[in-house]
Amino acid sequence: MPHSWDNFFILAGSAAATLMGLLFVAITVGGTGFSTSSIVRGSRGFLTPALVHFGTVLLQALVVLVPWPSSWPIGVIFGLGGLTGLAYQTTVVVQRHKVGLVLPDWNDWLPYVGVPALGSTSLVVGAVGLITEKTLAPYAIAGATTLLLIAGVYSAWDLTLWLIKNRDKTQRPDESI
């Protein structure tokens, strides 16, 4: 990867790490008062995918910033990561159906399934481009990084809304103001 991409990946990695930390704070503060089964359901539906997307962006940034002797190892790592991301996305869809978090509309499928799948596919394309030394490779990888960051933010936002919506259901009458 050209060194001119360092700032992009430093910014993306920092954003992903910060958002991961904020997710832990949100689930710790917002999750008090929930039953264990509710937290498991919410985390399977929203938290884990968001953490995986942010973790992937952070890993991409760290891999790019290592001073590799060539771009071939980056391509191999990103290729395997993109394929793993596509497999994980399939698992997420199956898990959401198992816990009853079905996505009824296309506008729900797009951010939860389409954007992460497109990000993982773009990562594979960028990886192949790095291995074959194509000039489009850094752009495909940057696109994948951006898409996965957006997918994580969207998932984190829905987790926050889910916590707010379901928090009212868990309060007992003597806890209300």
The more confidently predicted of residues 13 and 38 is 13
Q: Distance between CA atoms of 94 and 109, rounded to whole angstroms?
A: 13
This prediction has a pTM of 0.83
Highest mean predicted confidence (pLDDT) among 38-42, 78-82, 156-160: 78-82
Q: pLDDT tens digit string along 87-144?
A: 998 888 777 777 666 666 667 778 888 899 999 999 999 999 999 999 999 999 999 9
The more confidently predicted of residues 152 and 47 is 152
Mean pLDDT of the chain: 83
With vertex at residue 113, the alpha carbon angle to CA 29 and CA 129, rounded to the nearest 5 degrees, is: 110
Q: Distance between CA atoms of 125 and 78, rounded to whole angstroms?
A: 9
The more confidently predicted of residues 169 and 55 is 55
| Residue indicated by tokens 């926050």 | 160
Domain extents in the chain: 3-170
What average pLDDT does the segment 18-40 reach? Answer: 73
With vertex at residue 172, the alpha carbon angle to CA 166 and CA 176, rounded to the nearest 5 degrees, is: 90
